[in-house]
A and B are shown apart, each in its own frame.
Chain A
Amino acid sequence: MNIIKTQPKSITTDSTKYCPGCGHGIILRLIGEVVDELGIRERMILTAPVGCAVVLYDYIFCDVVECAHGRAPAVGTAIKRVHPDKFVLIYQGDGDLAAIGMAEIIHAANRGENMSVIFVNNATYGMTGGQMAPTTLIGQKTTTSPSGRTVKGMGKPIRVCELLATLEETKYLERTSINSVRNINKTKAAIRKVFQNQLNGIGFSMVEVLSMCPVGWKVPPIEAVQFIEEQMLNYFPLGVYKDTE
């Protein structure tokens, strides 16, 4: 028997606490594969966010700090300044990065901190049970927008890649999705790119990953994949928003 693929060595678990159909597990696996391929596990310091990925330290075999909600870019800034030779990975969700932590991500990006950011956009607050996020779509029903999000009074979903692209010190910004095998492979390539950029000293690099939250969205997993295809991709177009190389 030929083994074609195994669990990445930097991943410590074969089961996570993520819900069935959740996208975090896929992204975790991609991180593990890229970390293994680049051989950076022992140089890596990961900042865990507040949200569903809060227990990342149970899944990835590396040094981890558990940050306050939204503050990971500030925490990571300091870690990278103290250890410029180490690899600092910032992992954030949409509430963490685009709501409570908007100031921290904008200023870390504006300073051009040489860090890699994975921004998981699932258009809701998963951990707290499906509340409205800054990326929740217009008309999308959540527990705190029960009649659907309206522009009036709630504003439009924030497009983070487009926003950060206006800052001149950001070096690489790409939006990908994990709704299909093809897009999963593209996401892996993007993760590899933002990791490699830090290793090469290029500067602030981020991949925004559109991800499923079937439990938060209150739909079966297959419909969650369809929601990305039919709804999210229209508002959040995939592609590279900044590549200064």
Chain B
Amino acid sequence: MAENNDTGSDTKRVLMKGNEAVGEAAIKAGCLCYFAYPITPQTETPEYLAKRMEQENLIFLQAESEVAAINMVFGASAAGARVMTSSSSPGISLKQEGISYIAGGELPCVIINVVRGGPGLGNIEAAQADYFQSTRGGGHGDYRCIVLAPNSVQECYDMVMNAFDLADFYRVPVIIQSDGIIGQLVEPFDMHPYKPMFEKLPPKTWALTGCAGRKPNVVRTLYLNPANGLEMHNRKLEERYKKIHSELRWSETYNCDDADIIVIAYGATSRIAKSAIKKHNTNGVKVGLFRLKTLWPWPDVELVEIAKKNKDVKFLVIEMSMGQMLEDVQLSLMDVVPKKDILFYGMGGGWNPTPDGVYEKISEIINK
């Protein structure tokens, strides 16, 4: 939709689609290369970047396939560049092989998934049914990707910048889990300059730049010796994932103090839920919201704390899926909350819940 190239102060209030803000943030964060393949509802990102990267003399390439695109990401990252790709669910499935190699090769990159309905070709409406795929690695082997879940155009912009920093800092792929609503949403946002998350990032001494004056670098994805090869590699990755879990759990709460019901949601559904929660709050009903900003690592510690504070609280998980994050909620709370107090409201097929629907669901729980 709209774009604005207003010049002036450092921070501009501009109007963009979520999918476009993602592209602009990448450029501001120093993304050198972008490789992708068109698919609804994310195509505004390649369209935006085709234009902007040409203006900025950066590397834009429309790949012959999703598979080629992610392998170009693999190559550019191995070469030491900041690199991004974007797609939507069926395309992300195709990319899984490459994501596994990127994770195995300990390479940083940013992957945008504007989730749509599935399985199969599904449809082009917003969905959250790729939760398992994103948070469990997605491809073959034992690995994880950091998964950030924006719920506004501002967060699309901010989180992409964070994603590049996190990817470089931890040397893991970072997924931005958007959806057909957040990607298509047009909102004004503060287009501020790039704000690095870390004072200093580790230098990319491992990058392939030609071995002049140093020993050759090898970006390795094969470890034929199981005992001191792959086993050690997997242990090293596991240590890193533990570190990420201890350092990076992002969530936010809204009216959770002494709430009787706490809604758990992320992305577009968190905003739909908030509308319903506010309506209940004005009627004096104590309902709160626990919103996830990282889907992996999952903010389990934070949720358990809330569960311990709020006696007899009931949880309502809302997803645009038939119940995927629900399992993480159950796992997180299994020692502190009876399973019957964790309720679910979701819909698949690319259909989204409405504020009224959520409002009624909450009323149902109260009146029981």
The short answer to whether A and B are in direct contact, CB under 8 Å, is yes
Q: Are B101 and A82 in contact (CB under 8 A)?
A: no
Binds A, one of B69-77, B115-123, B267-275: B69-77
Within 8 A of B (CB), among A70-126: 71, 74-79, 81-83, 86-87, 103-104, 106-107
Q: Are B98 and A82 in contact (CB under 8 A)?
A: no
Known contacts: A67-B71, A107-B64, A107-B68. The answer to whether A78 contacts B211 by CB under 8 A is no
CB distance from A93 to the nearest CB of B (A): 15
Q: Are B208 and A78 in contact (CB under 8 A)?
A: no
Q: Are B76 and A78 in contact (CB under 8 A)?
A: yes
Q: Are A41 and B211 in contact (CB under 8 A)?
A: yes
Known contacts: A78-B83, A104-B71. The answer to whether A66 contacts B220 by CB under 8 A is yes
A54-70 interface code vs B (CB 8 A; 1 in, 0 out): 11010001111111100
Q: Are A71 and B217 in contact (CB under 8 A)?
A: no
Report how far A75 CA is from B81 CA in the complex, Å: 13
Within 8 A of A (CB), among B231-271: none
Known contacts: A43-B210, A66-B222, A78-B33. The answer to whether A71 contacts B68 by CB under 8 A is yes
Contacts of A160 in B (CB 8 A): none
Q: Are B79 and A79 in contact (CB under 8 A)?
A: yes
Whether B227 is near chain A, meaning CB under 8 Å from some CB there, is no
Report how far A64 CA is from B207 CA in the complex, Å: 10
Q: Are B209 and A86 in contact (CB under 8 A)?
A: yes
Whether B219 is near chain A, meaning CB under 8 Å from some CB there, is yes
Report how far A45 CA is from B80 CA in the complex, Å: 12
Q: Are B74 and A78 in contact (CB under 8 A)?
A: yes
Whether A165 is near chain B, meaning CB under 8 Å from some CB there, is no
Q: Are B74 and A75 in contact (CB under 8 A)?
A: yes
Whether A158 is near chain B, meaning CB under 8 Å from some CB there, is no
CB distance from B18 to the nearest CB of A (A): 26
Interface of A is mostly: helix
B208-233 interface code vs A (CB 8 A; 1 in, 0 out): 11111100111111101000000000
Report how far A87 CA is from B72 CA in the complex, Å: 17
Known contacts: A45-B79, A68-B97, A79-B78. The answer to whether A74 contacts B71 by CB under 8 A is yes
Within 8 A of A (CB), among B60-95: 61, 63-65, 67-69, 71-76, 78-81, 83
Q: Are A57 and B220 in contact (CB under 8 A)?
A: yes
Contacts of A76 in B (CB 8 A): 75
Q: Are A78 and B218 in contact (CB under 8 A)?
A: no
Whether B329 is near chain A, meaning CB under 8 Å from some CB there, is no
Report how far A86 CA is from B75 CA in the complex, Å: 14
A sample of 14 cross-chain residue pairs with beta-carbon separation below 8 angstroms, ordered by A number, consists of A43-B210, A45-B208, A55-B222, A61-B216, A62-B211, A63-B216, A64-B217, A66-B221, A77-B61, A78-B75, A82-B76, A87-B210, A104-B68, A107-B68
